[in-house]
Structure 1
């Protein structure tokens, strides 16, 4: 079986995500046969460095033997069991590990199956909490402009990406959007912290005026990933936590993309030393081996639902594969490896290497900004640097980099004209050099 044969079989039946399928008439689909460390290998034997960790999931390398062996061992015990009225050791152990690892007093864990599910769970929990507390007017959610939280209807409603949202607008509840603290738009000479503090004024005003109807604020801490790796200072999280406490509003932290070390700390919230009311986790939770998500919350939230069945105060939310033993076992192995092998400490050197390898591109006439938070680094490629005028999205400049990277043995998938790297933590110095050289040679193709 070769690439062409596998591609033909695929296109006969499969519909791929985030894809205009007619593109594959011109741009060949790449069927992957196996993975090893940072590499993906297709059916023709060509290897690609996975520079985006397969949509930001695979932090410890494809085929990691210890995670793989943990799943194999679990297969010999139980593959799945209903999680209503039953339990199992991997779920119990994972709940214990997450309660110990996450910030503050997040002692209770509710499992979902993917990131969007986690967002839906957190939104429903917050709404239901206030209902149980007798504050039935608190039904609204505040979100940041330019944010993204997934594509199920609730998650889509609190996002702000027109490409995904506009078509489905008639189906969505209305969220209250506030200007983002995204530091790309700061004034010349203005620091990230200064701009972030200035941008918080809009959030403060919203909460002051409408807290009586607001259930929660939801945001992606430090990095708005899906809208171009836009970044902001941790002071926003500190100010927001204080304001939410002052006005009696929940804080939902969507760390689906940035949790487990991506921003340089185990969780992005750690950098502001805050604890959200709900912490949504997925993606790197299992190092990309199996789908799983978790919503961590406090005893105080849990206790608002704890009553007799007849009270109808229970959180009656479920998924068929809630708490799947195989997924929980892979998550336990992932956390054990993160801690045992000191990946947060090792990543500090990798972060510096990434910055050093690309920092001179800040002077490129078509690079408006080079920005980095932890293991995420991004280049904002524009038509005009001085005015930050973007290229017309219909020109699909990022596709040129995507194709160039494929030709040279890497998976780099720009977001519009934002070129970013978010590699597995096991990436080597040599592989970073290869990736950054691909970006250097691909940049002229994007802007010519």
Structure 2
């Protein structure tokens, strides 16, 4: 075993990892990276098929991001944002507000930026601001309550955990949490209202339903108002696709519909774009867009303007921890007052608005808005769509869900019945381990294999990733012939 592996085993406690299993084998120890590739201590090369847990955008060791970080390092690494301002943070805030503009959308514009450290803290900021804003605008008797989706995951700080509804992640802490309400998420593949038989296609394309998932949101909003005498303070969601829930995409139009329902009742909208932001959800009709008009945020795809936009992960292109919560002038104004009124937002972090992070994020935004990045994202989106189709030949593939540059491949015991593997069987884990042995790194969410490569990933590398996944399935499950009918595509019923 490599000396670094022994050090890791002796001292490091890894997140979301059963350490007894971890200590049984030598881990992959990454020492360098370039583009879409990572290299370990033994000189082995791997394709980074999940962008180092959804953070890296343009590839590792990018020369422009390296240069921006180095330039800032020559000036200063960090100074406090408590009582002081700094250049890159001010410039980045202006650029984020500009990038978040959504023309022809109703509702107030996002004009203010509060910096923090990661996705959890970005949500924690939005949660606290929405809570206090509601109390101040509805009166001291208000009892702000929050609504989020089934399968929601919004981070690991206690406020963010309270918004989450994945029992495996959250039940341990339930006695520490404040109560929140949950509502049905639009999971077309396993929706109880979808009357369509399984086909070899994305379930959103052949579903047969009457938008019962939207009706469920409407019912929950109305129930809250009647039972408690006031609407929810905020509805919290990941737009277009839920990440940790298992890469669960929303059918086109769902986001706009439920946003209108919330707006009609005066419910704030908190958009968690920690994973979906900065181009991850791709480009609608990419060949008709220009780089300057390409949406960077999922909400923009359906002309939705949230009251809070929570950003992290790809904000620095995968280089440094940095998060931002964008909000409206109305929310900001509710915290203005004389010093002795103590209306200040009493919340902050030691590394808030760190110069190294904000300087790198500025360059990251410039890259995203360049023609080169725009063309790379079009190429990757279209290549993923072409290559993923080959996986329908794998009998254990039940659903393939692609939203832009994000894909989730759900593994099942029998695709004709949608019968899932028991989580104890570790089907997703075993497939990803087999992929790693073949030089492709990703991490599953239960039985869903996540594919989210950096934007610089080339078509031949996408083919390698997909081919490796198919080979890994054959190794883990054996070579079983496809079962049942192949199915035909039908237009989804409105």
TM-score of Structure 1 vs Structure 2, range by shorter chain: over 0.9
Distance 1:125 1:443, change over 3 A: same
Pick the aligned partner of 1:259 from 277, 281, 292. 277
CA distance in 2 between counterparts of 1:42 and 1:173 reads: 43
Give the root-mean-square deviation of aligned CA atoms: 1.7
| Contact 2:274 2:310 (C-alpha < 8 Å) held by counterparts | yes
Match of 1:130 in 2: 134
1:314 partnered with 2:318: no
Q: Is the Cα contact below 8 Å between 2:145 and 2:232 reproduced in 1?
A: yes
Distance apart, 1:198 and its partner CA: 2.4
Structure 2 partner of 1:282: 312
Q: Contact 2:434–2:476 (CA<8 Å) still a contact in 1?
A: no
Q: Say whether the 8 Å CA contact 2:309–2:326 is kept in structure 1.
A: yes
What per-residue deviation string (whole Å, max 9, x for no partner) do you get for residues 158-194 of structure 1? 1111111011111111110000012222331785687
Deviation at residue 407 of structure 1 after TM alignment: 1.2
Matched residue of 1:214: which SS? coil
**Structure 1: which 5+ runs fail to align?**
none
Partner of 2:153 in structure 1? 148
Partners of 1:123 and 1:195 lie apart in 2 by 33
1:112 alignment partner in structure 2 = 116
Q: Answer yes or no: is the 8 Å Cα contact 1:182–1:196 preserved in 2.
A: no
Q: Is contact 2:236–2:271 with CA below 8 Å preserved after alignment?
A: yes
8 Å contact from structure 1 (residues 106, 297) kept in 2: yes
- 1:170 alignment counterpart: 175
Greater alpha carbon shift after TM alignment, 155-164 vs 135-144: 135-144
Q: 1:378, 1:421 within 8 Å by CA — same for their partners in 2?
A: yes
Could you tell me how far apart the structure 2 residues matched to 1:65 and 1:289 are?
12
Residue 418 of structure 2: which of 377, 384, 388 is its match?
388
Residue 492 (structure 2) aligns with = none
Are 1:187 and 2:191 counterparts?
no
Q: List runs of 5+ in structure 2 lacking aligned partners.
A: 103-108, 198-202, 283-294, 479-494
Instruction: Using the TM superposition, name which of 18-27 and 386-395 deviates more.
Output: 18-27
Aligned to 1:5: 3
Residue of structure 1 equivalent to 2:301: 271
Counterpart position of 1:214: 232
Q: After superposition, where does 1:357-372 map in structure 2 within 5 Å?
A: 357-372=387-402
The 8 Å contact of residues 132 and 313 in structure 1, kept in 2 or not, is answered as no
Post-superposition Cα deviations, 1:385-414, rounded to whole Å, max 9, x if no partner, equal 122111111111112222211111111212
Q: CA separation in 1, counterparts of 2:256 and 2:430? A: 40
Task: State the secondary structure of the residue aligned to 1:76.
Answer: helix
Measure the CA separation in 2 of the matches of 1:73 and 1:206: 51
C-alpha contact 1:254 1:281 (8 A) present in aligned 2 = yes
Whole-angstrom CA distance in 1 between matches of 2:112 and 2:345: 13
- 2:29 paired residue number: 31
Deviates more, 1:188-197 or 1:125-134: 188-197
- Counterparts in 2 of 1:316-395, with a 5 A limit? 316-395=346-425
Which residue of the partner structure matches residue 13 of structure 2?
A: 15
Query: Which residue of structure 1 lines up, in the alignment, with residue 246 of structure 2?
Result: 228
Change (3 A) 1:242 1:213: closer
Measure the CA separation in 1 of the matches of 2:405 and 2:459. 14
Q: 1:377 to 1:223 in 2, by over 3 A?
A: same
Task: Name whichever of 354-363 and 92-101 sits farther off.
Answer: 354-363
The offset of 1:252, in angstroms, is 0.2
**Alignment match, 1:428:** 458
Q: Secondary structure at the match of 1:119?
A: helix
Superposed displacement of residue 348, structure 1: 2.2
- Structure 2 CA distance for aligned equivalents of residues 415 and 130 of structure 1: 35
